[in-house]
């Protein structure tokens, strides 16, 4: 999928005249790819409409970097669609919360209940598991086995057939035992039958959960929206967990689940084991959905990247004698996400010239200004390490495209040349630790 989208956008980048048709062709190709990834049709349509509103044909024609503009728009749209606008209920320590799990049979409820409990136990909560599945033979044994492995208290019965009664007894008991996260596992049916929904409704009414989590199997594909909606209409679903993301599913169903339940995805399951469970993070998920590679540069690196990683990347590029404008752009993008006091520590040679101490805000503004200009460059220009490629007409086009003066573009190119030269003079230590390097 990723390569297909990347290809569609690349095609667009090669087109000399950007008109309505070229943009439509590109968006249609992306639409087909997203549908194959299980994103539902109405959502893809919605995205297409929004992107057309955001992406301005005039900007594209003016020589802005088309690929970056469209990529960014798609990425942002998908992120927005995964954000229902309100966070899920978060259990508090030392205050009893009841969390009920719902979903079809085989979705992964029982497995996920334990993962969820185990995750919180490691964070210092006192979780407990209640098996309110009296429908499936062996349901209690399965929960018992999981819970025992994770050393989590559990409650259930081999003889009682009323799930409501068990749920209430279990919740009562664990409240008395001062557990702060009481998890109720419920039964599912193969289909969305009336009896399943009635049972779910009764368990919810009797246990008054603080949070109902809808568990869905990522491999059900286009069926997600209707299924999620049916559950939401019966109980107050407040969060979604997507399971079996380790399989072939591409995860596009997540967008449908969020749209149908108006609730956020909070975790994903990535295997059968207890610790194969990840906190859901929108941006990495979307870049995975789009097929990483070219998309990774757009991901906000605030959380993941520490300056050392940046340096490592930089070291590699510099040691290959390859400090292009794109390298500089990427470094800017990362720096903008760093706290002020870390700005200078990251780039020897760059920091001294571009970010004098005490002028951090101005430096930031300057980086942003430079990036706008670079956005108007073609790939060839960004990837060239030969400043001679910038003819007068190119410089004028970049100035026009970014709404800056020709003189400013020239100043930026001069600055780039200076930095590139400095980078060449840097001797890189064998261990790659650039923080010890003193620029010449
Ligand atoms: P329930 O009927 O909703 O309670 O589903 P179960 O928890 O019993 O899970 C059904 C099957 O899916 C079991 O074989 C689980 O091991 C498996 N399963 C659950 N979550 C995951 C996951 O994230 N990845 C993989 N590969 N298998 C999973
Ligand atoms: Mg189960």
Residue-level pLDDT at 241? 97
CATH of domain 97-281: 3.40.50.300
The DSSP bridge pattern shows strands 277-279 and 265-269 to be antiparallel
Candidate of 100, 106, 108 to mutate for ligand 1, largest count of ligand atoms within 8 Å of Cβ: 108
Fold of 2-81: 1.20.120
Whether this prediction's pTM lies above 0.80 is answered by no
Domain-wise residue ranges, the chain: 2-81, 97-281, 307-436
Longest dimension (CA), the chain: 85
If one compares 400 and 439, the residue with the highest pLDDT of the two is 400
SS3 content of the chain, % helix, strand, coil (to 5): 60, 10, 35
The arithmetic mean of pLDDT across residues 269-279, rounded, is 92
Give SS3 for 241.
strand
| CA distance linking residue 298 with residue 206, whole number of Å | 46
Handedness of CA 285, 287, 289, 293 (dihedral sign): negative
Is residue 383 within 8 A of residue 283, CB to CB? The reply is no
With a 6 Å cutoff on the Cβ, whether 84 touches ligand 1 is no
Nearest partner of 421 among 341, 350, 370, 367, judged by Cα: 350
The arithmetic mean of pLDDT across residues 110-123, rounded, is 96
How confident is the model over 211-226, as pLDDT tens digits? 999 999 998 888 889 9
Residue-level pLDDT at 433? 52
Helices vs strands, H then E, count in the chain = 20, 8
Residue nearest atom 16 of ligand 1, based on CA coordinates:
272
Is residue 385 within 8 A of residue 366, CB to CB? The reply is no
Right CATH number for 307-436 from 3.40.1160.10, 1.10.260.30, 1.20.1510.10, 1.10.1040.10? 1.10.260.30
Candidate of 134, 272, 274 to mutate for ligand 1, largest count of ligand atoms within 8 Å of Cβ: 272
CA 6 to chain centre: 18
- For tokens 């967990």, name the residue: 241
The answer to ipTM > 0.95 is yes
**Phi/psi of residue 96, nearest 5 degrees:** -65, 125
DSSP letter for 88, please: P
């Amino acid at each position: 999928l990723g390569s297909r989208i990347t290809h569609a956008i690349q095609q667009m980048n090669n087109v000399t005249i950007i008109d309505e048709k070229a943009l439509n062709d590109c968006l249609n190709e992306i639409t087909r790819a997203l549908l194959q990834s299980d994103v539902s049709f109405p959502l893809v349509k919605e995205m297409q409409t929004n992107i057309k509103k955001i992406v301005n044909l005039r900007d594209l024609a003016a020589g802005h970097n088309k690929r970056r503009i469209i990529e960014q728009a798609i990425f942002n749209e998908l992120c927005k669609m995964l954000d229902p606008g309100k966070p899920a209920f978060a259990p508090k320590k030392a205050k009893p919360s009841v969390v009920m799990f719902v979903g079809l049979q085989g979705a992964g409820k029982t497995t996920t209940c334990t993962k969820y409990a185990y995750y919180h136990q490691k964070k210092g909560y006192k979780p407990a598991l209640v098996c309110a599945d009296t429908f499936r033979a062996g349901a209690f044994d399965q929960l018992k086995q999981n819970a025992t492995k994770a050393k989590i208290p559990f409650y259930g019965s081999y003889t009682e057939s009323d799930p409501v009664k068990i749920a209430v007894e279990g919740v009562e008991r664990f409240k008395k035992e001062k557990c702060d996260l009481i998890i109720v596992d419920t039964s599912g049916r193969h289909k969305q039958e009336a009896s399943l929904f009635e049972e779910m409704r009764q368990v919810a009414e009797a246990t008054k959960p603080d949070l109902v989590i809808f568990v869905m199997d990522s491999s059900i594909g286009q069926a997600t929206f209707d299924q999620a909606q049916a559950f939401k209409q019966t109980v107050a679903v407040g969060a979604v967990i997507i399971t079996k993301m380790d399989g072939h599913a591409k995860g596009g169903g997540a967008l449908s689940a969020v749209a149908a339940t108006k609730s956020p995805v909070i975790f994903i399951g990535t295997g059968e084991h207890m610790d194969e469970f990840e906190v859901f993070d929108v941006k990495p998920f979307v870049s995975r959905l789009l097929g990483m590679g070219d998309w990774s540069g757009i991901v906000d690196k605030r959380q993941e990247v520490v300056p050392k990683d940046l340096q490592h990347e930089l070291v590699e590029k510099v040691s290959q004698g390859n400090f292009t404008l794109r390298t500089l752009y990427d470094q800017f993008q990362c720096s903008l996400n760093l706290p002020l006091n870390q700005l200078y520590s990251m780039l020897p040679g760059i920091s001294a010239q571009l970010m004098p101490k005490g002028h951090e805000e101005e430096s930031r503004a300057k980086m942003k200004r430079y990036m706008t200009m670079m956005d108007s460059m073609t790939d060839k220009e960004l990837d060239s390490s030969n400043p001679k490629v910038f003819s007068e007409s190119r410089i004028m086009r970049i100035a026009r495209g970014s709404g800056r003066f020709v003189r400013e573009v020239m100043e930026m190119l001069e600055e780039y040349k200076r930095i590139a030269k400095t980078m060449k003079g840097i001797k890189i230590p064998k261990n790659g630790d650039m923080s010890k390097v003193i620029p010449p």
